């Protein structure tokens, strides 16, 4: 059997207006909580897409560490390839593929570095071995052998056996400030259904507020014999 023959039925249903929250952050948190409750493997894992100085796209998987009305946060080595890309072009996209639930969320926005205080607060909350690993690992750089990295880790473990571990200057977090969220579902039907959320515009003279306007929902029915993909998006 070739990959073109791989198929399955989608049974979780589509998107219904009455099931959607008025605030897209609330909607994301609702879906994330359901992914955690369903015991999905790594429900906070997300693909981060960036582009280099030549416009070449790259993707990698990182873990979401917090989300609120200000954006989505993850942490990394500031010397990594992703960090270098963001330094050159801070427009990024995120993707949460919750396949078991037949859902996906796609996010676009602008990345900004967290403050030193925010970095320290999270770094000191991590297990000690995770702190040491962040210092030992020079992400996106070559090493001659795995033993070099393991030796560095053991050296640091002995060095900081007592006392606090300082936050490395080459490590920190990014917050993705949102410009658009897409909530997607897949369902079996005899026609294509596309659900769209209208743009959410900020009120003049006030800070952007996702809650400022309610969604306008449009459904377009196209005659077809394919499984339908449901797309929901909101923009500011």
Under DSSP, the state recorded for 41 is S
Q: Domain extents for the chain?
A: 16-124+167-185
Burial class, 82, CB count within 10 angstroms (exposed 0-12 / middle 13-18 / buried 19+): buried
Under DSSP, the state recorded for 20 is S
Is pLDDT of 12 > 70? Answer: no
Residues 43 and 64 sit within 8 Å (Cβ to Cβ): no
* Between 50 and 212, residue with greater pLDDT: 50
30 sits in which H/E element:
helix 24-37
Per-chain mean pLDDT for the chain: 76
Determine the average pLDDT of the residues in 178-192: 67
Residues 176 and 71 sit within 8 Å (Cβ to Cβ): yes
* Between 84 and 130, residue with greater pLDDT: 84
pLDDT digits (tens, 9 = 90+) for 213-231: 334 333 333 333 333 333 3
Domain 16-124+167-185, classified CATH 3.40.190.10, yes or no: no
pTM: 0.76
Return d(Cα 82, Cα 150) in angstroms, integer: 24
Left, alpha or beta for 66 (phi > 0: left; psi -120 to 50: alpha)?
Answer: beta
pLDDT of residue 184: 78
Please give the full DSSP string across 127-150, using - where no structure is assigned.
-HHHHHHHHH--TTS--S-HHHHH
pLDDT digits (tens, 9 = 90+) for 34-83: 999 999 999 999 999 999 999 999 999 999 999 998 999 999 999 999 99
């Amino acid at each position: 059997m070739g990959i073109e023959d791989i198929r399955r039925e989608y049974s979780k249903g589509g998107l219904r207006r009455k099931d959607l929250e008025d605030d897209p952050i609330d909607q994301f948190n609702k879906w994330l909580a359901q992914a955690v409750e369903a015991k999905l493997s790594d429900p906070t894992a997300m693909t981060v897409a960036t582009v280099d100085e030549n416009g070449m796209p790259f993707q990698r998987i990182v873990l979401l560490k917090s989300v609120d009305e200000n954006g989505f946060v993850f942490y990394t080595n500031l010397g990594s390839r992703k960090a270098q890309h963001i330094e050159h072009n801070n427009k990024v996209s995120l993707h949460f593929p919750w396949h078991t639930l037949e859902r996906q969320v796609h996010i676009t926005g602008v990345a900004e570095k967290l403050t030193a205080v925010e970095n320290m607060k999270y770094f000191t909350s991590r297990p000690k071995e995770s702190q040491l690993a962040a210092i030992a690992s020079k992400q996106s750089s070559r090493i001659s052998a795995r033993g070099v990295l393991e030796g560095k880790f053991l050296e640091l473990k002995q060095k900081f056996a007592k006392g606090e571990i300082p936050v490395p200057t080459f490590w920190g977090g990014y917050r993705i400030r949102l410009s658009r969220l897409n909530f997607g579902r897949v369902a079996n039907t005899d026609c294509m259904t596309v659900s769209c959320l209208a743009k959410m515009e900020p009120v003049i003279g006030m800070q952007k507020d996702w809650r400022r306007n309610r969604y306008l929902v449009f459904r377009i029915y196209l005659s077809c014999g394919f499984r339908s993909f449901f797309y929901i998006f909101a923009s500011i």
